[in-house]
Amino acid sequence: MAMDVYFFTGTGTDVGKTYCASRFAETSRAAGKRVGVYKPAASGCEIGSDGELIARDAEHLWESAGRPLTLHTVCPQRFKAAIAPPEAAKEQGDTIDEVAFFTDLQPWIELAPDVLIIEGAGGLFSPLSDSMLNVDFALQLRERLPEMKTVLVAANRLGVIHDCIACVHAANAAGLSLDRILLNAFATDDSAPCDESLHTNAPLVQRWTGCPVVEHAEGLVRE
């Protein structure tokens, strides 16, 4: 059976990208599928009891996928400072290894899970290295994995219509087509439960972007 590959990215930081990718992993496993998860780099990592840096996002993905391979294999490049990965790397006297973005992916390709979830770092146009944005990483991934679907996660709150339209237009200009927009509904300081836009955003986002919209990660699971 062919491997289904999904690249999860976001309209920005803290829109629920890891939450949605983790829910998709859990739902896929519940459907009887073997799941692999990979994140090329992470910043804002914590120091564990053994002195190793722990990427909590990667940990959530790994747990949701049923702990395939090792946690280190999920996210090999980890940095402490909660800033863009290339700057976080510099702060600890390190550099981002762009080649490793793809060589570190190889164990997951060899594992050949039914579903492979790849999560970017930050928003679609956030820097992964000094010369590569997440969108560039996605384009290179699609060259290697042409079956890959790109899922744009956006926080379902007032203003999300603009965020999605802008991101879709920018992605198209860069040569990347988006396959799904996932509107993540959660309450934050910026999105109160009384936000009246929550019930009208999805159809308007789909109308203005032309991209299919789902409101739950479960909607991505292939029947």
Domains along the chain?
Answer: 4-220 (3.40.50.300)
CA dihedral 39, 45, 49, 52 (to 10 degrees): 60
Query: Rounded to 5 degrees, what are φ and ψ at 120?
Result: -75, 180
Cα 19 from Cα 156, distance rounded (Å): 14
Catalytic residue among 39, 80, 90, 149: 39
Taking only the tens of pLDDT, the chain with its 223 residues reads 689 999 999 999 989 999 999 999 999 999 999 999 999 999 999 999 888 999 999 999 999 999 999 999 999 999 999 999 999 999 999 999 999 999 999 999 999 999 999 999 999 999 999 999 999 999 999 999 999 999 999 999 999 999 999 999 999 999 999 999 999 986 555 545 667 788 899 999 999 999 999 988 776 765 3
Q: What is the pTM of this model?
A: 0.93
The gap from C-alpha 3 to its chain's centroid, in whole angstroms, comes to 18
Beta bridge partners of 4: 115
Per-residue burial over 193-209, b = 16 or more CB atoms within 10 Å of its CB, e = otherwise = eebeebeebbeebbeeb
The reply to whether 39 belongs to the active site is yes
